[in-house]
Amino acid sequence: MTAADATALRLSLLLALATVAILLPMAIGLGRWLAITRWRGRPLLEALLFLPLLLPPTVVGLALLVGMGPASTIGRLFEAVTGGRLVFSFAGIVVASVLVNLPLAMQPALRAFEAVGDDLRAAAASCGLSPFAAFRKVELPLAWPGIATGAVLAFAHTLGEFGVVLMVGGAIPGETATLSLAIYDRVQAFDMAGAGRLALLLTAISVLAITLLFLLGRREGGARG
Amino acid sequence: MTAAMFRLMALLLMLVWPLSVRAAATVPVTIAAAADLRGVLPVIIADFRAATGRQVVPVFAASGSLTQQMLNGAPHQLLLAADSEYPARLVAAGKVAAPLRPYALGRLALLARSSSGVRDLASLRAALAAGRLRHLAIANPAVAPYGRAARAVLDRAGLTPPLVLGENVAQAAQFVISGGAEAGIVSAALARDAVKQGGLVMLDLPANSHPPLVQSLVLARGAGADARAFAAWMAGPQARARLAAAGFGLP
């Protein structure tokens, strides 16, 4: 493995970890709220939250490129606060990755919170548990397998993400050139052996990471603390 | 249970922070380079590094894609384009500082699988007529100057082969190397690299077979010393010798 390969691998893992770390609380919060809300706009909101999965990466990428670009409000705000650019930077591909993976992380959590049911929430309340205590001690442990599944899906999808990261990130070595982009780059440089080696590496790392996450999810879920 | 979950989240964040600090510390000086430079530019950069101790990192894509990225705020400090139109567009948008500096003249070549029987435009025409040529690879004319030049070659020869478009000229060459296309019209420099893989033949096309590809470079506003030094290096004798040896014409 060359130094460039190691950099690409580190970026990919970093991006996947950051995506999951940001998505986990979002998926739990949004999923729980959507599961219990009686708001009439819920189906529309759910559909909107599904959009990143429905739309092709080129559309999402273009929307983000324009929406977070140096001329946009978000882009200017980010530049004013951090002094850096959002597009073509690591922060930019994290934002893109969080958005693209939101439905993947949230849907399983939402379904899991739905499956807990109003009866159980009522029972917890009648046992004298405060809403937060009921959430912590009853709902979260029951919904955990769904939440963990969403996290695993988001992690795996981020490792393999290509189109959006290329459009928003521009494949800059050490900044936005993830392992999937490095493989594409190798193929274009006529280096099929190098591309094959990286593809094998990505496969091995993905299987390993996902196995670990599944193990972790099972152990946490089994604890039922 | 929740405590364990918060521990997991804290662990994730702890893993991310130190890594992200390192990522920020290692951001290199990137230069945007047209895909036809994939073979020769790493060699020129190695010369440059050996002579000056300075380092630049190339990012390759079609000139059109790179221009689009730089218009949208990509931090590349230098654009080495495959023509002069895209750099001129960046100048017009105020993203880069004029002037354009021509550094090479693009040349095209016919690249074909040895088994295809295609050796030149005449045998290409024969293969087309006999239905032996299913795909001819060129770069996408919408974003790649080499694609436009290849289309001009075909138009002038009156040929209308079934085309397969690469996102950039290196991908078009890749289509021929992988065997997906029987032949392609790509940059002469990439064709020279490709025939080293074996099983391929190439023929340089005359410079007058297409409108000239005056490849120009342009510095971004606020480009650093490394990028400026490299722009100057591209006009120097060592870089020009490398370009000529790779199959480029010199301005």
Q: What pLDDT is stored for residue A131 in this prediction? A: 87
Contact B4 A170 (CB under 8 A): no
pTM for the structure as a whole: 0.83
Q: What pLDDT is stored for residue B8 in this prediction? A: 65
Statement: residue B16 has pLDDT above 80: no
What are B102-127's pLDDT values in tens digits? 999 999 999 999 999 899 999 999 99
Contact A174 B15 (CB under 8 A): no
Report which of B247, B109, B129 is spatially closest to residue B183, judged by C-alpha positions. Answer: B109
For A30, how many CA atoms within 13 A lie in the half-sphere containing its CB? 19
Q: Predicted confidence band at B199 (pLDDT cuts at 50, 70, 90)?
A: very high
3-state secondary structure of B248: coil
Q: Which amino acid is at B22?
A: R
- B82: distance to nearest CA of chain A, Å? 17
Strands B57-61 and B30-34: parallel
**Cβ count near A57 (within 10 Å):** 18
CB–CB of B173/B111 below 8 Å?
A: yes
Q: What pLDDT is stored for residue A214 in this prediction? A: 76
Q: What pLDDT is stored for residue A225 in this prediction? A: 40
- When mean pLDDT is compared across B12-26, B49-63, B178-192, the lowest value belongs to B12-26
3-state secondary structure of B101: strand
Contact A190 B15 (CB under 8 A): no
Statement: residue B204 has pLDDT above 80: yes
Q: Which domains does chain A have, with CATH numbers?
A: 3-223 (1.10.3720.10)
Q: Where are the beta strands (DSSP E) in B44-140?
A: 57-61, 78-80, 96-106, 108-113, 136-139
Contact A174 B194 (CB under 8 A): no
For B182, the token pair is 């029987």
Average pLDDT in chain B: 90
What are B33-83's pLDDT values in tens digits? 999 999 999 999 999 999 999 999 999 999 999 999 999 889 999 999 999
Distance from C-alpha of B111 to C-alpha of B103, rounded to nearest angstrom: 24
Statement: residue B229 has pLDDT above 60: yes
Question: Which 8-state DSSP code applies to residue A190?
Answer: T
Statement: residue B23 has pLDDT above 60: no
Distance from C-alpha of B137 to C-alpha of B139, rounded to nearest angstrom: 7
* Chain A CB contacts of B193 below 8 Å: 190
Bridge partners of B201, per DSSP, are B112
Q: What pLDDT is stored for residue B9 in this prediction? A: 64
Contact A170 B3 (CB under 8 A): no
Q: What pLDDT is stored for residue A223 in this prediction? A: 47
Among 3.40.250.10, 3.20.20.120, 2.40.128.110, 3.40.190.10, name the CATH number for the domain at B10-105+214-246: 3.40.190.10
For B251, the token pair is 């301005």
Statement: residue A27 has pLDDT above 90: yes
Q: What pLDDT is stored for residue B17 in this prediction? A: 60
The answer to whether the peptide bond before residue B99 is cis (omega within 30 degrees of 0) is yes
Statement: residue B24 has pLDDT above 70: no
Contact A20 B12 (CB under 8 A): yes
Continuous H helices in A135-191: 140-160, 163-169, 179-188
Q: Where do the CATH 3.40.190.10 domains begin and end in chain B?
A: 10-105+214-246, 107-209
* Chain A CB contacts of B177 below 8 Å: 190
Contact A14 B30 (CB under 8 A): no
Average pLDDT over residues A29-43: 92
For B202, the enclosing helix (H) or strand (E) is strand B200-204
* Chain B CB contacts of A188 below 8 Å: 35, 38, 60, 168, 170-171, 174
Greater confidence (A97 vs A3) lies with A97
- A16: distance to nearest CA of chain B, Å? 10
CB–CB of A5/A198 below 8 Å?
A: yes
Please provide the CATH number assigned to the domain covering B107-209: 3.40.190.10
Q: What pLDDT is stored for residue B77 in this prediction? A: 95
Statement: residue A106 has pLDDT above 80: yes
Residue B189: is it exposed, middle or buried by C-beta count within 10 angstroms (0-12/13-18/19+)? buried
What are B146-171's pLDDT values in tens digits? 999 999 999 999 999 999 999 999 99
Q: Which amino acid is at A19?
A: T
Q: What pLDDT is stored for residue A224 in this prediction? A: 46
Closest by Cβ to B35, choosing from A75, A171, A188:
A188
